[in-house]
Every structure is written in structure tokens, then in C-alpha cells.
Amino acid sequence: MKGNDKYSIGEFSEKAGVSIRTLHYYDEIGLLQPEKHPTTGHRIYNHQDILTLQKIVSLKFLGYSLDKIASLLQESSFTVDLNDTLTLHLKALEKEKEQIEQSMAAINRVIKLLEEEGEVDSTVLLVLIHNLQKESMHNEWMEQHMQKEIVEELLKKTEKDKIILDQTYIQMAKEVKQLYGKPIEDPGVQTMIKTYIEASMEFLGEDLIQKLADTDMENLDIQELEDMSPSPFTEDEQRWLNRAMEYHMKQSEIE
């Protein structure tokens, strides 16, 4: 239905690039109400409706809700007062961007891990993903409780370094399942512990290890940090692993 810049809803939908379903909804909530054909009741859109729709699309792009858009459409001009709401939207978008970037980094890391390993225990992989999700919380905890230089050094670690440490953790998790129940002093158990500790030390580096050594760890609530990171092991396996690590540390002190 053309003529005098008038459009049926199908024509308007195609011209504006907005679905008919969306146009129906905008009409129902009073956001964009075209005139109606007096006989058929069909919606008839005109040039002014195109301008209104452009305003709606622009305000949606800035992040405004439809309720707020309905209010803003009544304004003949905008002043600096609009900056308050724009600033809030900008902060929300920045936070969303940060979350998306974290998710993308986590996905890439998991993809590389699976490519390298071929197969990973589901519990172990999900624990790693959970830890990636909570990485920002871990960093905030460290910023509050540890030296700023330590946090900065950890944040400089490359994705490659992190993946190598993840692979060592995955290997240890496999071995825990295989070795659990053996005496903690068993050579195989102690080799497993030694391999993981050496990989962790290599990941940290000498400078960072020294800074951690200079930190007053006794006054830190390490349990609070550990609670943020679930274990892929059963309680019995975790207790056995803790005892094996304690034994290794004592043997290292003797040597």
C-alpha cells in the first residue's frame, strides 16, 4: 500500500529493518502507534513514523529501556542532564564488556586445553572453568590482602603460562585418582607432588616466590581464598593429598 509516503506494516518492516512482531509490540505498548485504516483496521505508517522509529532504535542502542525511551520521545531537545543517565549506561556497558572479554579468554583457554589434552575429566574441567569465572574475585582478594606488586606480577602472566599450569593440574588430578590410598611416602605419590610444586614454582618465578616469602602469610585467611576455588577431589582424596603435600614439605626441610 504505497502513495503519499504511506506504508503497510510489511512495507514499513522491510524499509526500516525491524520485524513485524516488534512493530506490533511497539504499537501495543504505545511506543510507536501508526494510524489505522478506518475500515480494515490495518496499520498505516508514514514518514513521521520512520523518524520516530529511528529515535527508538538510537535510544535502544544507547542502552535505554523501552519505558525510558517512551519518556525521552516526548522531549523536543536534550540537555547536559542526559549525561547522568548516559554515564550510568556507559558504566554498565563497560562492566558487560569486561565480563564478555573474561568469558572469551576463558573459552579460548579451555579450547586450547582440550586440544592439547584430547580428553579431560569433566569434574576437573568444570572446576577449572569455575576458577576462570572467579578469577576477578581472586584478584580482588589478593589486592586487599597482599602486596600490590604480587598482584601486578600475577596479572602479567601470559595465557601460555596459565595453560601450562592448568595442564600440570589436570595431570596431577589424574594421578590423585590413580594413586589415592597409597601411603603418602610412596615414591609415586611424592613424585606427583614434586612435579606439581615445581611447575607452580616455575609459573611464579623466583622474584614472585621471594615476595610471597616476605608476606606475612600467618595473618592471611587463606581459607577464604580456598573457599572460592572448589576442589575436584572427594573430601577423603583432598585430605590424603594435603597430608602427602605436608609430608613432602617436611622432607624438603630435612634435606
Mean pLDDT of residues grouped by 10 in the chain (255 residues)? 74 92 95 93 93 91 88 81 79 85 84 87 84 75 73 82 88 92 94 92 84 66 65 89 92 73
| Contact call for residues 225 and 218 (beta carbons, < 8 A) | no
In a domain, 122, yes or no: yes
pLDDT given at position 74: 87
Could you tell me if 128 and 166 are in contact, meaning their C-beta atoms sit under 8 angstroms apart?
Answer: yes
Residues 124 and 248 in one domain: yes
The pLDDT, as a whole number, for residue 66 is 92
Cross-strand pairs, 35: 44
In a domain, 213, yes or no: yes
* Residue 120 and residue 13 share a domain: no
Q: Which residue type, as a one-letter code, is found at position 111?
A: I
CA 126 to chain centre: 14
Asked, for residue 86, whether it belongs to a domain, the answer is: no
**Hey, how many other C-beta atoms are within 10 angstroms of the C-beta on 188?**
11
Cell numbers describing residue 46: 508514514
Q: What is the pLDDT of residue 3?
A: 46
Per the CB < 8 A criterion, the answer to whether 189 and 179 are in contact is: yes
Is 85 part of a structural domain of the chain? Answer: no
What's the rounded Cα separation, in Å, for the pair 163 and 116?
A: 10
Say whether both 109 and 57 belong to one domain: no
Q: Do residue 152 and residue 222 come from a single domain?
A: yes
The CA distance from 92 to 201, in Å, is 38
**Burial of residue 23 (number of CB atoms within 10 Å: 0-12, 13-18, 19+):** buried
- Who contacts 131 (Cβ-Cβ below 8 Å, separation ≥6)? 138, 229
Among the candidates 30, 53, 72, a domain finishes at 72
Residues 157 and 213 in one domain: yes
Q: Are 175 and 219 contained in the same domain?
A: yes
What would the DSSP string read from start to end of 33-78? --EE-TTT--EEB-HHHHHHHHHHHHHHHTT--HHHHHHHTT-SS-
Cα distances (angstroms) measured from residue 229 to each of 23, 115, 203: 47, 24, 19
Is residue 147 located within the same domain as residue 187? yes
Domain count, the chain: 2
Cα 78 to Cα 74: distance, rounded to the nearest angstrom? 11
Quote the CA–CA distance of 248 and 191 in Å, as a whole number. Answer: 9
Is residue 117 in some structural domain? yes
Question: Measured in whole angstroms, how far is the alpha carbon of residue 117 from the centre of its chain?
Answer: 23
Residue 127 sits in the same domain as residue 182? yes
Which one-letter amino acid corresponds to residue 158? T
Which residues span the domain enclosing 198? Answer: 103-254
